Each structure stands twice: as C-alpha cells, then as structure tokens.
Structure 1
C-alpha cells in the first residue's frame, strides 16, 4: 500500500514540476502515472550504476554531479514515456531539484 501511495505522490509531484519548470510537459494523467513508475524503476536499477561509474567525478565536485545524474535519469524517463517531454539537460536538472523538493515535502506530510 505504501508503494502505491509513493507512486501517486511522485505522479502528483511530477505534474506540479511540469507546471513550474518551463521545459517539462506532461500530456495526461496516464503519462504522469507511467512517468512516475518508469522514474522509480530507473532510479532503482540504473541510477546506482551511473553513480558508481561517476564516483570520482562526484567526489571531485563535492557531490554536485549528482544533480546532473538526476537530470539524466529524468531525461531517460522522458525518452521512454509517451506524452512526457523534457526539453534539455538544464530543464531536467532544474526539474529534478524541484521534483525532489516537492516529493520530500509531500512524503513528509503523508508519513508524519
């Protein structure tokens, strides 16, 4: 049940992020649901591999390169989901930051 709640919260956070960030758009609620599901899978399986391979760069940048990795994960999700579009890496990085803030706030409200 918690996984479904987290997925729905992520979907809502993605829709809010698309309203805030100019370079991100979601065509429908279904696209938002699939984007949230694919983003969760990408973050679970692919992001750790990227993080491991870019560990030296992440250390040299004092962790700031993780923002770029998060942006790439959002771009990858957009390339896999129809009706979900991210215009470029800068929009993806900014969108991933906004998405993280919204998602954290909503999960804190839900689980507190």
Structure 2
C-alpha cells in the first residue's frame, strides 16, 4: 500500500511542479503517473548500476555527483515517457532536487511508519 501512496505522491508532485518550473512541461496527469512508474523502475534497476560505476567520482566530489546521476535518471524517464518534456540538463537537476524534497516531505506526512 505504501508503494502506491509513494507513486501517487510522486505523480502529483511531478504534475504540479511545472507550474513553478518553466523548463519542465507535463501535459496530463496520466503522463505524470506513467512518469512516476518509469522513474521508480529506473531508480530500482538502473540507478544502482550508475551509483556503483560512479562511486569514485561521487567520493571525489563529496557526493555532489549524485545530483548528476539523479538528473540522468530524470532525463531517462523523460525520454521513455510521452507527455513529459524537460528542457535540458540543468532543468533536470532542478526538477530532481525539487521532486526529492517535496516528495520526502509529503511521504513523511502521509505514510504510516508502522
């Protein structure tokens, strides 16, 4: 049940963030749901591989390279999803930071820690 709640929270935030960020465009809420599913799958399967291979660079940059990896994952999810358009790498970084912060806050509010 928590997975479905996290998916809905991510979709809602991804749907509403383009109202604030001019470089991100989401056409429909169904596109945001598909984006959230694709993002979750990429975070599950691709991100650990990227984290493993980029560990030395991440260590050298004191963790800042993790932002680059998150932006790459966001751009991959954008590539695989119709109805979402992110206008470049910097918008992907800003979108990933905002998405992470807002979803973390909302998950702490809405998900039970039983």
TM-score interval (norm. to shorter): over 0.9
CA distance in structure 1 between the aligned counterparts of 2:5 and 2:111, rounded to whole angstroms:
10
Displacement after TM superposition at 1:33 (Å):
0.4
Aligned-pair Cα RMSD in Å: 0.9
CA distance in structure 2 between the aligned counterparts of 1:47 and 1:21, rounded to whole angstroms:
24
Specify the alignment match of 1:65 in structure 2: 65
Unaligned runs of 5+ in 2: none
CA distance in structure 2 between the aligned counterparts of 1:20 and 1:38, rounded to whole angstroms:
22
Q: How many residues align?
A: 112
Q: How does 1:1-112 map to 2 (within 5 A)?
A: 1-111=1-111
Structure 1 length normalisation: TM-score?
0.96
- Misfit runs of 4+, over 6 Å: none
Unaligned runs of 5+ in 1: none
